[in-house]
Amino acid sequence: MSGVPVPHRVVGRRPETADTVTLRLEPVGAALPDFAPGQFAMVHCFGRGEVPVSASSVQSTGGLAHTIRSVGAVTAGLCATRVGDVVGVRGPYGNTWALERARGRDVLVVAGGIGLAPLRPLVLRALAEPEAYGRVNVLAGARTPSDVIGRRELESWPTAFTGVTVDRPDGRWRGDVGMVTQLLGRAHFEPARTHAFVCGPEPMIRATARELAHRGVPSAHVRVSLERNMRCATGHCGHCQLGPLLLCRTGPVVSWAQAEPLLSVREL
């Protein structure tokens, strides 16, 4: 783990949506330790600052990549980079999805918006070991059809069930419309023997986790990735504190059993 930004060259740039790109990175010099699915980096745009971004591809599944949405000065600068440009990366930070706990059980992945990006390495790892896991289901929701991340790859995954729904369809959309939770009834999983992995906007996480609990998935088997203001990523500044948790160290992935009582408290 590096505490200072390590120069990385942009060797691939793929637009995902109108405001989101995936940057594939290679170290200019010494490489960082391997990232595991669920971990994040502090990605530095020289002259602007740095932001936390989960890995959308890790070294074991095709090289390090980060999917970034332009929502501020730093992310706008990162999204504007071109192949050949250099950015800084420090990490890996945080914990993992702990996919190994799901061995022999069904895997249910539920993503909202750009939340599919941090879940991508987990899906690829589970699909690479079909004998190690039960049925793999991927459910994704987005605001509009043009906001679906990696839709072509998503639909190519050999899962037991893949479903995509949008909030606001356009004239060409022929798929589902509405909340991602409505797809749960068509997924193929046995609740008591399922491990679920959820990432997206916080209201979507709450709704999904509660629906999974209603269907019989144990809350300890539902892991969610939470987002807070991370600045140091080393547990010293306290900006990412959520109750007793420092999400840069004890997160960003936590079980719903841990998260539910904390997210029920209104933040000031």
Report residue 18 CA to chain centroid gap. Answer: 19
Dihedral pair phi/psi, residue 122, rounded to 5°: -65, -45
- Phi first, then psi: what are they for 159, rounded to 5°? -90, 165
| H-state helical runs in 9-113 | 73-79
| C-beta contacts of 248-251 below 8 A and 24+ residues apart | 248/52, 248/93, 248/94, 249/93, 249/94, 250/95, 251/94, 251/95, 251/225, 251/226
* pLDDT for residue 104: 97
pTM of the model: 0.95
- CA 222, CA 208: separation in Å to the nearest integer? 10
CATH class of 6-93: mainly beta
Mean pLDDT split into 10-residue runs, the chain, 268 residues = 86 96 95 94 95 92 91 97 97 96 97 96 96 97 95 94 96 94 97 97 95 97 91 89 89 94 72
The pLDDT of residue 1 is 63
* Phi, psi dihedral angles at 185 (to 5 degrees): -65, -15
pLDDT for res 2:
58
pLDDT at site 262: 87
CATH, domain range 99-219 = 3.40.50.80
Domain ranges across the chain = 6-93, 99-219, 226-268
